[in-house]
Amino acid sequence: MKSLSVSIISALLHPRYGGPSEVVKLHAKGLASKAVVHVYGVSNEDDYKEIKSNIASLKVFEPSYPFRWFYCRGLYNELIRHSHKTDIFHAHMLWDYPVYAAWKSAKYHKRPLIITPHGSLNNSWRQKGFIKTAYRKLLLDQLLNDTSCVHVLNNEEAYACREYGVRCPIRVIPNGIPLSSFYLSNDSFLALQKWPDLVGRRVLLYLGRLWYGKGLDILPDAWAKVIRMVRKNNWLLVIAGPDYKDYREILESQINSLGIADSVLLTGPVYDELKSSLISASTLYILPSHGEGFSMALLEALAAKRPALFTDKCNSAELAYCGGGWEVPDTIDALTEALQDLLDKDDAYFESAGLVGWQFAKDRYTLEIVTNQLLDMYETVIN
């Protein structure tokens, strides 16, 4: 029986791009045991050195102008040459050139096209601007009309896509991480060795891109209000992740102006074992985001038995309902109130909630479950 051949296409392959790059890597890994998988994308030479070890059957092309579109020469021709061997194209993101190239290649050889927008249509601010308005009229509406299926991460994103005008079938498949990730030993040694300020502290951890859209515009203000209370002085707010559009400078300025620099640690990007160790060193994970598809960082925290405080823009209400986390509006006052309550709790309280969240995520969000759901989606659109 002929193996299913899948071409995955994405501009976002380096870990600095956060969740979407991790999803592409994990999709390729999960599908590789059950299909022939090829990954195509955009990358400069330096980034390629970091990503090639994480993704098998990878072919990338150097970015060129217009860079904001993630344009690259050669990708379309490569897809055309090999698309006759491909049963299905799966493109990630929405506004980028690689999605356009996947669409044109799928049309050329009459193959199905799946698009995973990663929340690109979730919020009105993601769709605004002259360039995106023009792009929609010139290309995007037709591209979406020709798409076989849009893969979304939750029901809220499905609704947002319908509101935008997507008419093709929509399949809800969440993100997932390998089942083995839920059974890793929690070892904080590397993190404590690298950042001695963590020793003897209870850690409130944010892990993700440094960007106001992730709620880092409101988190420092909420933290400043809470940390001034003397009984909270054993807590340390750790903000870990890559800079995005030079927002770190703005964040540092805000932290300094609030006078809270001694209770905040900015680590920069953390990956692989160091990231796992930092999660292990934390007490509570926080995601104050103004908009999420399905946070991989949140899922990684749950896998390490760390409960989470998150906003209602994170589309994770079920986690709060089951007792594995706490959901609040994405405002300074709401975060402040929640933190004032939570930071007084003892370790046993967080350990209990972390165990509930771990069980909740393990039962629903493993890569093995997601891989079977992806294969079912592929078979549906092919047949």
Q: What are phi and psi of 313, to 5 degrees?
A: -90, 0
Residues 32, 58, single domain; the answer is yes
Q: Count of CB atoms within 10 A of residue 302's CB?
A: 30
8 Å CB contact between 284 and 308:
yes
What local confidence, expressed as pLDDT, does residue 75 receive? 96
- Regarding whether 169 and 198 lie in a shared domain, the answer is no
91, 162: one domain: yes
Q: What are the strands of the beta sheet with 58-61, ordered from one edge?
A: 58-61, 36-42, 5-10, 88-92, 113-116, 149-152, 170-172
pLDDT at site 233: 75
Type of residue at 301 = A
Give residues with Cβ within 8 angstroms of 88, minimum separation 6.
4, 5, 6, 7, 111, 112, 113, 114, 378, 381, 382
156 and 232 in a single domain? The answer is no
284 and 261 in contact (C-beta within 8 Å)?
Answer: no
Is 269:242 a contact under the CB 8 Å cutoff?
yes
Given a contact cutoff of 8 angstroms between Cβ atoms, the answer to whether 265 and 237 are in contact is yes
pLDDT given for residue 2 in this prediction: 58
In a shared domain, residues 338 and 230? yes
Specify whether the CB–CB gap between 82 and 7 falls below 8 A.
yes
Query: What are 124-146's pLDDT values in tens digits?
Result: 767 778 889 999 999 999 999 99
Same domain, 190 and 144: no
Asked whether residue 61 falls in the same domain as residue 159, the answer is yes
Can you give the CATH number for the domain in which 261 is found? 3.40.50.2000
CA distances from 154 to 104, 150, 161, 175, 318 (A): 27, 12, 11, 9, 11
pTM for the model: 0.91
d(CA 377, CA 383): 10
Tell whether 161 and 195 lie within a shared domain: no
Predicted confidence at residue 1, as pLDDT, reads 43
Distance CA 324, CA 302 (A): 8
- Indicate the number of domains in the chain: 2
Are 295 and 372 part of one and the same domain? no
**Distance from the Cα of residue 360 to its chain's centroid:** 19
243 lies in the same domain as 353: yes
What is the residue range of 210's domain?
179-364
Same domain, 194 and 323: yes
Bridge partners, residue 207, by sequence: 240
State how far the alpha carbon of 296 is from the alpha carbons of 41, 365, 369, in Å: 21, 10, 15
CA proximity to 299, closest of 350, 376, 318, 334:
318
Per-position pLDDT tens, the chain of length 383: 458 999 999 999 988 888 899 999 999 999 999 999 999 999 998 888 888 888 888 999 999 999 989 999 999 999 998 867 899 999 999 999 999 999 999 999 899 999 999 989 987 767 778 889 999 999 999 999 999 999 999 999 999 999 999 999 999 999 999 999 999 988 999 999 999 999 999 999 999 999 999 999 999 999 999 998 756 779 999 999 999 989 999 999 999 999 999 999 999 999 989 999 999 999 999 999 998 888 999 999 999 999 999 999 998 999 999 999 999 999 999 999 999 999 999 999 999 999 999 999 999 999 999 999 999 999 999 98
118 and 166 co-located in one domain: yes
